[in-house]
Amino acid sequence: ETAATRIDGKVIGGEIRERIAREVAALQADHGVTPGLAVVLVGGDEASQVYVSHKRKASLAAGMESFEHYLDEDTSADELLALIDKLNRDPAVNGILVQLPLPAQISEDAVLAAIDPDKDVDGFHEVNTGRLWNGGSPPVPCTALGCVLLLQHTLGNDLAGRHAVIVGRSNIVGKPLANLLLRENCTVTVAHSKTRDLPGLCRQADILVAAVGRPKFVQGDWIKPGATVIDVGINRLEANADGKRRLVGDVDFTAAAEVAGAITPVPGGVGPMTIACLLHNTVRATCQQKGLPLPA
């Protein structure tokens, strides 16, 4: 038996999705507006296909329109940019998401920069990054937002003054999360592959977030007793004898759960929150584009 509370992203994300479905229904009833999310997938990456199909199902279940664009692996940058230009100008499309990673011939930076910042529901456009760091409220990268919502759900309004250690400094997770937790008045430390004495640093964390991409990297004895642990990692292990491929996080869950106060499982922790936040960003983008008040 584990001592830690299990932070259930499926349940928490499900509540958010229900709230969003109500907001979408109200937009339709009151304003005749249906939020539309366009998802672009280039090539046949297996994990990306799974993510795109989850995003499609979730947006349809929330009552939104889903526009999917599947492009060949050898699509040129110009072809993709032409599609983005079309989506930028399409009034039925309120959110645009280009699934990463892209094939090597296409520059991710150029593609992300081409998306209309107002339709950038992933929050990766540099204009939105800048707005975030300047204290504005642009669309925020979904996984980082999902982590904050899980922490608020677990710790209530009690984030202020806590020491948050984030292991990982990607543009997708670590950096935006550092910003969001600063706003919550946490004391934030961002660790990475050059950090010295990472275990010792992690032991100082009231909130420990692992976004590393290495299976079971964070050990049980790196965790301060009672800490809240958010495991962002999604690592696919080789198939077992039963042929099923297992997903594990960046934290050794079994060992960590004996020490932590609360911890997210993988799967079923941060993953479902990411999709819920994508829908949240799409509703907000729709309201802004249509000049409607944001849902409370």
CA–CA–CA angle 23, 26, 27 (5° rounding):
85
Going by the DSSP 8-state scheme, the letter that residue 265 receives in this structure is: -
Window contacting ligand NDP (CB under 6 A); options: 19-27, 56-64, 124-132, 233-241: 233-241
Pick out residues in 234-263 that bind ligand NDP (CB under 6 A). 234-235
Catalytic status, residue 55: yes
Pick out residues in 130-149 that bind ligand NDP (CB under 6 A). 143
Q: Which is nearer to ligand NDP, 44 or 101 (CB)?
A: 101
Catalytic status, residue 122: yes
Is 9 a binder of ligand NDP (CB under 6 A)?
no
Distance CA 171, CA 150 (A): 20
Instruction: Name the token pair of 16.
Output: 């958010």
User: How many Cβ atoms from other residues are within 10 Å of residue 71's Cβ?
Assistant: 18
Distance CA 257, CA 278 (A): 29
Q: Which of 116, 118, 120, 122 is catalytic?
A: 122
* Nearest distance, CB of residue 214 and ligand NDP, angstroms: 6
CA–CA–CA angle 43, 282, 265 (5° rounding):
70
Total of chain residues touching ligand NDP, rule CB under 6 A: 25
Window contacting ligand NDP (CB under 6 A); options: 23-31, 77-85, 131-139, 185-193: 185-193
Going by the DSSP 8-state scheme, the letter that residue 221 receives in this structure is: G
Pick out residues in 11-30 that bind ligand NDP (CB under 6 A). none
Decide if 260 contacts 74 (C-beta within 8 A). no
Q: Which of 217, 123, 224 is nearest to 168 (CA)?
A: 217
Q: Which residues are catalytic?
A: 55, 99, 122
Residues that bind ligand NDP (CB under 6 A): 143, 167-170, 172-174, 191-195, 198, 211-214, 232-235, 270-271, 274
Annotated binding site: 168-170, 234
